Amino acid sequence: MRGVPEGLFERTSPSGPLTEEHLALRDTMRDFVAREIVPHIDEWEEARRLPRSLYRKAAEVGLQGLIWPEELGGSGGDFLMQIIAFEEIARAGAGGVAASLGSYSIGLPPIVKLGRPEILERYARPVIAGEKIAALCVTEPGGGSDVAALRTTARRDGAHYVVNGEKTFITSGVQADVLTVAVRTDLESRGAKGISFLVVEGDSPGLSRTELFKMGWHASDTAHLHFADVRVPAENLLGVEHEGFRAAMLNFNDERLVIAAQAVGFAEACLAEARAWAAERSAFGCRLSENQAIRHRLVEMVMQVDAARTLVHDVVARRMAGADPLPTHIARTAMAKITATTALFNVAGQAVQILGGMGYMRGTVSERVFRETKVLSIGGGADEILKDLAARQMGF
């Protein structure tokens, strides 16, 4: 049941067919996934982390630098490239691999967008080169949805900030070398005002980590982080002090589109496995796929994957063209994430059903992805929070 599933139809984006560059990237990523990811998934799931060599290999095909400037070792591609890359990685059918290999896609943007030149050199360049692992640390034990309520403090002390507090559920948190941490720098403040981003080095004295164990995403290392008087050079502040909340919120939009693209890829992996199983497996003297009920189920799965992909690509194309006012973009992004992750939830469940008992067994893509569906409706903004956000943006 292993292997990168073939796509059901050539992918196009609503803005027109993918360009030669997009198609070339898709082929490169498909080859990378087949060669460097698929054969090792079980081993990494068992080890509960990815090997550092994978980050270097991913950098060789340009993954981490896809959308970042050439001056930093990137290739300056457009955002659709990022979407295609993550859809392809997801088609391996292992959310933990996509999550930890992809933690740079949430940890790096605040650094590249807001960091001073020396910070870019020190932290962004090695992450893009696959030499260092980045993580984004926003969620706290007291709550993740209400970002504005975060309590980790960074008190200014001469040329340093002194960080105290806790972060939890942090993807790549066990291994990360470069931590992009949301902190409260205005200690008198409450709510959104007074929040900043700092880059904290993984080996900073006073930083300790505890590994967390999860329902799925086993190949991804997830950690609880404890900051006890961690001294961080003041130059590691990203952007304007106390003004980090808006940057965090805008950053979430791209993260949500990447999650939506991954949901499409995971759903396609399940669909491909179920389709192959239905064509091979016999019951009551005929192939499963000869039953109309099974064929209808497969068509319903294709409908959901196709609709989700079309929506995600449309939101991405309009984002790239600057076609929508910001509130519209925020609302459509939130709704696209919910649509794609709901499609995945349904498709993964239907795939397990078609595989029968085999769909409940370790070793099938559908079993693993089914266990991994829930997290995509929680991380990057839970469904309830995103519906509230969309409602506010649309003036409901």
Ligand X SMILES: Cc1cc2nc3c(=O)[nH]c(=O)nc-3n(C[C@H](O)[C@H](O)[C@H](O)COP(=O)(O)OP(=O)(O)OC[C@H]3O[C@@H](n4cnc5c(N)ncnc54)[C@H](O)[C@@H]3O)c2cc1C
Residues that bind ligand X (CB under 6 A): 135-139, 143-145, 169-171, 214, 217, 222, 375, 378-379, 382, 384-385
Distance, in Å, from the CA atom of 356 to the CA atom of 24, rounded to the nearest integer, reads: 37
- Of the pair 5, 95, the CB lying nearest ligand X is at 95
Taking the complex as a whole, the smallest distance from the CB of residue 135 to ligand X amounts, in Å, to 6
| The one catalytic residue among 88, 140, 201, 255 | 255
DSSP, residue by residue, 13-77: ETTEEPPHHHHHHHHHHHHHIIIIIGGGHHHHHHHTS--HHHHHHHHHTTTTTTTS-GGGT----
- Closest to ligand X by CB, 113 or 116: 113
Dist. CA 27–CA 49, nearest whole Å: 26
**Cα separation values, 366 from 39, 93, 132, 194, Å:** 17, 8, 32, 44
State in angstroms the smallest separation of the CB of 355 from ligand X: 25
Of 137 and 257, the one with the shorter C-beta distance to ligand X is: 137
Could you tell me the CA-to-CA distances from 9 to 97, 133, 145 in Å, in that order?
A: 25, 35, 37
Closest by Cα among 243, 316, 325, 245 to 67 = 316
Closer to ligand X by Cβ: residue 45 or 273: 45
Question: In terms of Cα–Cα distance, which of 366, 383, 353, 382 is closest to 293?
Answer: 353
- Comparing CA positions, the residue from 149, 92, 113 lying closest to residue 238 is 113
Minimal CB distance residue for ligand X: 144
CA distances 202 to 52, 90, 199, Å, are: 15, 27, 9
At 343, give phi and psi (nearest 5°).
-60, -45
**Closest separation between CB of residue 101 and ligand X, Å?**
13
| Pick 54 or 375: Cβ nearer ligand X | 375
Q: Indicate if the alpha-carbon torsion angle 59, 63, 66, 68 is positive or negative.
A: negative
Q: Are 115 and 191 in contact (CB under 8 A)?
A: no
Closer residue to ligand X, CB minimum distance, 214 or 242: 214
Closest CA to 281 of 211, 355, 352: 355
Cβ atoms < 10 Å from Cβ of 327: 14
Q: For this structure, is 255 an active site residue?
A: yes
Q: Are 119 and 63 in contact (CB under 8 A)?
A: no
Active site residues: 255
